Amino acid sequence: MLKRRKHSFWRRRYTTFLLLFLLIITVTASPFVWRVDRLSRAESDYDVQRVKEELLWWKVHGGLLNQLAVIRDATLWLDLNVGGENLESELAMAQDEKHQFWLFLLNLQKGQVTEAQNVLNRLDKTSLGQLGQGMMSMTKGDVEASRRLLAEKELDWKTLPEQAQVLRHLALAQAAVIVGDHQVTQTELEGAQRLEPNNPACLSMAFDIAIGDARWAQAQELSGIIKAQTWRPKNTLFETKRAVLAIHENDLQALTECLSTLQELPTGEASINYVKGLQALSKGQLQEGQSLLERALKIGLEGGLKADAQKSLDQVTMRQNADRAFRSMVDGKEE
């Protein structure tokens, strides 16, 4: 009887100690768990300022917990979106598929096509690799190859991370813009927005589509929203499209600002010639506009800009042929 009481006493003591220990762990860990959740939600919402604030809290209070994968990934995610220093070397050290794909995206953003292709070679025969190849084809102006790669039915695209699925939808939307398929353009954009409505890339695509459809008021509104996101790195495509908008609005100050920014960006020279070519055409200077657009294509325009430049050149050629035909007809009547 005495042994049983003694055994029961120690068991109660052990249970009490265990519950107390778990309570202490829970109380100690709960602020960190709460902060991880806040950080993840800020990242999902693309709330860059909140992500910065949360990472600063972790830097001050996290100690060794800063080595957690979720904290390190959030830091890399932030640098990828705002253009952090030393990001390329940090991503290069990580050999897993996700971080290699991020390295590919970084190289593509910088206009380092050769380096981006080298990374893709390491992602061969994976869904992310196929996505990267489709994006690379788009960059090189091969729209049909891009659409074929990104529409591959044998791949389960839904197994990709949400961010990668969004990139696929947006690449397909961009391809549809180039070939003039408005229904697919809207469907793919909406697919991206459903997954990540706050992704800035969705906003950029909506702006690009508005410019293409000559919805100038909407384009002006979207341009203002994008410009307000001051954390964004400067982007060649956005600045080029904003310059096109400035030409239409006859906003010389904005146009000068865009051209100045483009001078500092990769492939900026080609875009500057493209913009100046469109400006010349808008003034009726066909010969000058044609020369500038041809120079832009020779230097190397990417994706949709290349298609737009060629379309503008085709229109110039048609107009020149029509003018020649009209002059010939007039000259024939005078004779």
Q: Work out the percent of the chain whose per-residue pLDDT is above 70.
A: 87
Is the pLDDT at 155 greater than 60, yes or no?
Answer: yes
Could you tell me if 200 and 229 are in contact, meaning their C-beta atoms sit under 8 angstroms apart? yes
Q: Work out the percent of the chain whose per-residue pLDDT is above 90.
A: 45
Is the pLDDT at 26 greater than 50, yes or no?
Answer: no
What average pLDDT is seen over the chain? Answer: 85
Rounded CA separation 104/118 (Å): 8
Rounded CA separation 150/166 (Å): 12
The stretch 236-242 carries a mean pLDDT of 92
Give pLDDT tens digits for 108-147: 888 788 999 999 998 877 889 999 999 999 888 888 999 9
Centroid of chain to Cα 242: 16
Could you tell me if 108 and 115 are in contact, meaning their C-beta atoms sit under 8 angstroms apart? no
User: What six digits make up the tokens of 66?
Assistant: 């800063």
Rounded CA separation 182/168 (Å): 17
Is the pLDDT at 22 greater than 70, yes or no?
Answer: no
Give pLDDT tens digits for 162-215: 999 999 999 999 999 888 899 999 999 999 999 998 888 999 999 999 998 899
Query: Would you state the pLDDT for residue 2?
Result: 45
Residues composing the chain: 335
Question: Looking up tokens 């947006």, which residue turns up?
Answer: 170
Closest of 288, 286, 311 to residue 301, by C-alpha:
311
Higher pLDDT, 231 or 217: 217
Is the pLDDT at 333 greater than 60, yes or no?
Answer: no
Is the pLDDT at 12 greater than 70, yes or no?
Answer: no
The helix/strand/coil state of 68 is coil
Query: Would you state the pLDDT for residue 13?
Result: 58
